[in-house]
Structure 1
Amino acid sequence: MRLAWSALVVLVAAVHLGAGWQGVVPRLVFAGAVLVAFACLPVIRRAKVSVVPVLGFALTGAYLVARSDGTAPVSVLLDLLPRLLSAARPAPATPTLLVPGALLVFLVALGVAMARSLFAPVLGAAVLYTATALLTTGRADPHGVVALALVLLVVLGWLLVDRRESGRPIPVGRPAAVLGVLGAVTLTASVLPAAQAFEPRELVRPPISNVAVTSPLPRLAFWAGIGDTELLRVRGPERPLRLVALGDYNGATWRAASLYGPIGAVAEPDLPPGARVAESTIDVTVGALGGTWLPAVGRPTAVSLDGAAVDTDSGSLVLPGELSAGLRYEMSGTVDTPDDQDLVKASVPTGSAARRYVALPGLPFSLAEYARKSVAGAKTPYEQAVAIEQVVRLGRKPDVEAPVGSSYARLETFLFGAEGQSGANAGTAEQFASAFAVLGRAVGLPTRVVVGFQPVPEGPDGVRVVRGSDATAWPEVYFSGWGWVPFDPVSGTGSGPSPASKREVLDRLASVTATPTTPQSAPPPPPLVQPAAPVAAPPAEQTGARLLLLAIPLVPLALLLSLRGGRRLRLRRAGAPGAWAYVLDSLQLAGRTPRRDRAAPDIARDVAAVAPAAVPLAELADRAAFGPTPTRDPEAWKLAVEVRKGLRRVVPWYRRLFWSVDPRPLRRR
């Protein structure tokens, strides 16, 4: 009954640990780890083997599941926790990310199974519950239901198991005591602070990879040419899907970020999210999309693909390899959803964090003057954005066959080109979005260009089919406190502020609705200043986490060594009886534990072939224990050491390997 109760307590805590991963599979895996650990107990007892080989098998299995090419086993095991802490939250249920949780559950369950104390299940459940709280920052059990269930199981187990084994009846007052304990736990949980939870992910510096990616802006014309081709299918809310947010502009092209890290790592973007956000989860099946960019919604918070990486600043998702048709994944993200009234008086950041989003190296005078005239009369950043959207849209038409490009020269042709000139007053979504972004930056608005897909109608089966003709680009403006807000200079009706709100602004700025005067004579644009290529960040150092992981097994080893050393010292001071007890410890380590009813001389004769010194030592121990006067023979300890050496020489190598840290002699009376 004690064993079943212990298994139940650990099982509840292990299933609760599964809240740190996605889906039901982790809970089943952790429950299986508990059952396997408790099933190992009879095997260990019948075979009379140490627990060390079992631990070796567990670590070997963990390495085989999580191994990577060319990585040493020790490095793989040390990287288990950093991998988990730098993954999405909740973590995807991939074998690599499940290994650290399953290994922890197995080790805790095995320790509880081998212990005979009623406090062992309590300690094991506390370790797993604490690990769950750290992994989820306390969100797995916000109301303390699991904690109360564990307390109830523990208290009832203490009452029933202890009383049944001792044969004593359960006092009438014990149920009242149980209720009192539960009430105290509930009261304590209700008054504990819940804010500013400890975040263990801050202890791990996530690995940052330099990924060679190209901007998908030039592919807009290609996708438009295959307009009926199915690129992907989506299940989920009707929100824009983004491939990449382009925030760096050098006067010639928009450039994607090149440094990416795992999703879920604790890293703040250069511009924080807004005060109003909405959570969205979508299920994506890739068709003929191609490339390495993963369609996502908002800022990714979780994705079911192992190996997906994210740019923290833009929220762009990439895969290390090419997308293949039929690839399916689920991802969750947060989208800034400010109200129209929030934006009316909103400001824009002006510090160093926003510098990259207003950078315009070598901006031509014609574009700067056009931007200034476009916002004449606008008093707030929101009014400026609405005015620029209107100015870019009026008098220009979308044309999928227009020349591509986002350079200053292409934008000047798009905005100021003469009638009949190729690309004049006509362009793809690339030119509309780029023109808005450049003009916005010229008046101090932080902008970026997003490539993706606007919402498409839902089919009868609840699936949205995204085709090549749905690919587009749109600009976004960052407002302090409200995040990134999309605008639509192509039609003015896309996602973002409502048309009614924009109309109110345009009514107040009636003079802006007309196209600004095109500069007739503009000085030649200065040469473009090509910014230096970003230097790849050095590989992430996880020294602190590695040392912490290394210290975890060293602490129990140091404790075992100190306890064994203390026992050896006590036995040496006890004379011949202590020396004989030292021999009994050696027999236990060698797998030759004698029955308790056997006398010392009989035991000595059984091992005399490998340790002849056992016979005289047994006689000294008998004489000291049963003689008329106690004697202390200084030769007794030397004989005991010789017996120990003889026994150690004939045992298998794996027993000799863990001879000094085996905890079994500490339990022998």
Structure 2
Amino acid sequence: MTDSSTPVQPVPADPAAPSAFRPFPARAWPDVAIISVLSLLGVIGYETSFGDYNFLVAGIGGLVVGTGFGVLGYVLRLGVVTNVLVALLGYFLFGSALTMPAQSIFGVIPSLETLAGLALGAVWGWTDIVTLQTPVEAPYYIPVVPYFATWLVALVGTMLASRWLVVRRSPLRSSVLLIGPVLLFLSGILLGTDETYFAGVRGVAFAAIALIWLGWRRNAAPAASDSGASRLQRRKLAGTGMLVTGAVLVGALAGTALAPTQPDRFVLREEITPPFDPLAFPSPLAGFRSYTKDLSETTLFTATGLEPGDVIRLASMDSYDGRLWNVAGPDDMASSDGGFELVGETLPLPGLMRPGGERTAEIEIAGYDDVWLPGVGYPTRLRFDDAESVASAGDLRYNSSTGTAVLTSGVEEEYRYTIDATLQKGVDDDDLIDTPAAQIDLAPVENTPDVVVAKAQEFAGGAESPIEQLRAIETALKTQGFLSHGLASDSVPSRAGHGADRMIELFTRSQMVGDEEQYASAMALMARYLGYPARVVMGFAPEVGEDADSVEVVGDDVTAWVEVAFEDVGWVAFHPTPDETDIPQDQTPKPKSEPQPQVRQPPRSDNEDEDLLTAVEIDDSDDEKKNQPFAIPLWAWVTAGVIGIPLLLVFGAMLVVAAIKARRRNRRRNRGSGDRRVAGAWDEMTDEFAELGFDVPRVGSRRQVAAVIERQLHQQGLGDARGGRTDTGPVRIVRADGPASGIRVMPLADATDRAVFGGQEIEQSVVDESWDTALESVGLARAASGRLRRLFSRFRIRSKRDWGQVDISGAKSSKSAKPAKPAKPPKPSRPSKPTEPGGAEAAAPAAG
């Protein structure tokens, strides 16, 4: 407590005390420069993927950001983990402007879209860049790939050069720093194309710079005289010149003679096959009329091994967007749809089916030239028989859930293949009365016309079970409609297509007129509206004779039907297309014109009565607002992303460091014998001082370490710190007279030595007193320091081994530093670790 008569003079603390920072090692700057140059040579190889030089902005920006935060972490004495976390903050902070300025706010400020792109590009950009066609221009986050690569290489290289290589330089350690630039150079080759971008020039320059750097930056033995140093310098220059010249000659001349340039070099995009996207090809159902009009008499392929009633499947479509039925793409694949996968000869059966008969069919292509592979049932084995089709077997993709096979390179004439297939077992309707529809997820159906919904309710009528409702719809379409392919010979024209407008036309005309394309589409939409898993299947239904060995399939055999999945049964087929083609002549497909009876209108009266009436407008906006769910506005999301994410990174790193320090303090205070816990108090205090920016030596006795700390306290104006305790913690004051507690480093060193070397049992009171003294001293030093210095200390964790050591005189030293030449001063002996009864921490008094 202080006396009211005693004047209290607060001493201002310097917020930017010199010891809070440390200069970046001068010897590390050339290493950082070489890493940057080699990384730039490597990232230039991405030119063949991007096609222009815009990616260099991201690549050079990554080098600057990574190097800058590596240097900043060293200067601020941040630990390795903390430095990486702060560098991640810089990665997101500056990455938006360098990689996605169009999506950034004002071209500079990060947005939610750019923050998400920086995360996605670092993870998925590597796969996108080798699966997309060059030049790679999409997705929007693709420039993140060179930015992330150079940022990571520059950050790791700078941290190693300043924290690891300066301690002890050796050829092996120097070579470790080349791993990042070498990987970056290789990535530019593997992620590129067959074309090279100054490969010889970049390779020779990379090798020459790396070799010169390794030779010149290694430790050299001290010369005996100035003349010896000159001779050593000349020999070093000559040896380096000969080495570089030999490397250039061997690499450029002998390499070209012994290993000439190959027409195709190894690149990943040639080896990695992108996932098949069926949406890249036209919908099979969209080309339905081309078979009935243009290829009606053309032999598409010849099929052998079919039996009467067999149909040939071409493609199953379960996605509808209001314009087309299509095969679901990768983004619309449901959980029940395995998607298209690379397969061999053996093909898996779908999980939802009841096996029936088996077929072995041989198909030989003639006039068919699409990518969808005709097949029978659900194939279990597919073998290409001729040499040309065997060469394209690697392009085969198969969807086991739908039984659809596709040859991405396209089917060509004279392709021949054999299919072993299993057919879906037929089930009577009586057996399906009590069978529910299967509960599976399919691709979405969107923009279903209202008239289709109304007709579904009308046709289903009073039927209750799923099979009864579906058969009712099938029967209504089949009996009330008429078949027309829109040919010139048809009595009534029929427009192609199955989009929402064509579905509306089908049901609003005086008669339903269409073919399999329209009726299958309409029934599938009705079934999906009723909640049943339905899909449209397109294929061919040739007439197969009893004794026919083979059948020629022509375009007129094309057909389409609907399949609905039932539980434990499989996909049941429905054929809603009518057989009737004779449309009544007195019925036309034009809308009916119903004339209205003419009614004599009364004379118009004056507006006097109308003026007496006032229109009342009911404002129901409040009710609408009440019924609408609460939605967070866009500006709130943008603000949260721009401000919240950086704050989360900063305070998240602070919380992680605080948790690590709390765990360290708890282990030291509560584990081990009494002398170990007293030694733990000393270790905690020295580590806290080091994290606060003091140079705390690792070697030396506790009294020597205490002397170094006290010397720095006096040099920084903190030696007279005295303190009390308020509601906010310890405060720093200067007492004019009277005893007071303060920063007690030397007393704690003496007390710790007595406890460790006394050989007596240490009471708990002694442990508590030591910890109270240590925490009070650290609290006073922290309170007396500036705010900036205290902030940096929250991100520092003193590791088990410092990158640079401090001798007991308080001056920084390094193994590679040359000693000064005073007049033979006494050499300080290197203290050895004494054997103490306190254990590992007690045996190393200065260890943290």
TM-score (norm 2): 0.35
TM-score (norm 1): 0.42
The structure whose Rg is larger is: 2
